[in-house]
Amino acid sequence: MEFALLNGEIIERSEAKVDVEDRGYQFGDGVYEVIRIYNGKMFTIDEHLKRFVKSADSIGISIPFTSLQLLEMLEELLIKNKLETGNIYMQVTRGISPRNHLFPTGNVEPTLVAYTIKGVRPLDSLKSGVKAILTEDLRWLRCDIKSLNLLGNLLAKQKASEEGCFEAIQHRGQDVTEGSSSNIFIVKDGSVITHESNNLILKGITKDVILELCTKNNIQVQERTFSLAELEEAEEVFLSSTTAEVMPIIEIDGKKIRAGVPGPINKKLQELFEKEIEKQCGLLVDKV
């Protein structure tokens, strides 16, 4: 039997239902997190909980549990679902209220949901790399909030998929921002470059782990905006996310990067990233 967390209670997943007037359902009025599980343990959980609270705060939703309570409930959910490798999906919305653009007044409790999804590491893609397309970034100007409103991201990802690609690299004019569900990195003159964490991108937790690994291992990093021209001339390109880890990009809009072979800095970072997973979650059986 599978279980889900609904407003502080762990119940049978098939029983976890929300009302048609939940504001998450009607407006996407809420925020979410995806947390990676290796060996039954949560990777970078403190960072995910912090970002969850920060996203909620930034749209005026007050999560009715402390981070410690959330942590304990998620741990219980993992144990009940016997999840070894996969993800936890968690979201909070502004709650249930008669449909109105204005925030509800009075005591409307946020709706908090979490459940687990089984899923192995994408080892084949991590080894051989993935293809991407370029697309104009059509999203709003608060991409730093991990909002349930993902239409811009969905349209970009769908377009990529229809062109046989894994990811859409978004740009605002000549400036590269981020992927539809990932952060984007280039290597230039041996230096790792990725967009600074401002309102135009999500401050990826995997991105921050990678930046720290670079600093600790004497790999030069620059957090700054880079251009489409720099992307085109890059020595290496890769993306990062909770589920895709450190993923080589080997082709963009049909043009191969490094003749379609993942680069040395990308490979080194994959190795360091696996060590970081093992530090937090125990030994990995299969590695890149």
Active centre residues (catalytic): 146
CA-CA distance, 220 to 284, in Å (whole number)?
28
> Is 120 strand, coil or helix?
coil
182 counts as binding ligand PMP under rule CB under 6 A? yes
Reported for 199-202, long-range contacts at CB under 8 A and 24+ positions apart, including other chains, are 199/141, 199/142, 199/143, 199/144, 200/137, 200/141, 200/143, 200/144, 200/172, 201/143, 201/144, 201/177, 202/143, 202/144, 202/146, 202/178
Q: Which residues neighbour 54 within 8 Å (Cβ) at sequence distance 6 or greater?
A: none
CA-CA distance, 170 to 225, in Å (whole number)?
12
Q: Which stretch binds ligand PMP (CB under 6 A): 95-103, 181-189, 219-227, 266-274?
A: 181-189
* Closest listed residue to residue 258, CA positions, set 246, 268, 243, 248: 248
177 counts as binding ligand PMP under rule CB under 6 A? no
* Closest listed residue to residue 288, CA positions, set 260, 247, 259, 235: 247
Q: Which stretch binds ligand PMP (CB under 6 A): 59-67, 179-187, 219-227, 256-264?
A: 179-187
55 counts as binding ligand PMP under rule CB under 6 A? no
Supply the minimum distance, in Å, between the C-beta of residue 75 and ligand PMP.
Answer: 20
C-beta of 23 vs 157, nearer to ligand PMP: 157
Q: Which stretch binds ligand PMP (CB under 6 A): 103-111, 115-123, 178-186, 221-229?
A: 178-186
**Furthest C-alpha separation in the chain:** 60
Supply the minimum distance, in Å, between the C-beta of residue 207 and ligand PMP.
Answer: 6
240 counts as binding ligand PMP under rule CB under 6 A? yes
Among 91, 183, 194, 266, binds ligand PMP (CB under 6 A): 183
Q: Could you tell me whether strands 167-172 and 175-179 are parallel, antiparallel, or unpaired per DSSP bridges?
A: antiparallel
With CB under 6 A, what is the number of residues at the site for ligand PMP? 14
At what angle are helices 205-216 and 45-58 packed, to 10 degrees?
130
Interaction with ligand PMP in 135-164: which residues (CB under 6 A)?
153
C-beta of 19 vs 57, nearer to ligand PMP: 57
C-beta of 240 vs 270, nearer to ligand PMP: 240
241 counts as binding ligand PMP under rule CB under 6 A? yes
> Is 274 strand, coil or helix?
helix
> Is 223 strand, coil or helix?
strand
Interaction with ligand PMP in 190-229: which residues (CB under 6 A)?
202, 204-207
Q: Which stretch binds ligand PMP (CB under 6 A): 54-62, 187-195, 238-246, 253-261?
A: 238-246
> Is 176 strand, coil or helix?
strand
270 counts as binding ligand PMP under rule CB under 6 A? no
Residues that bind ligand PMP (CB under 6 A): 34, 153, 178, 181-183, 202, 204-207, 240-242
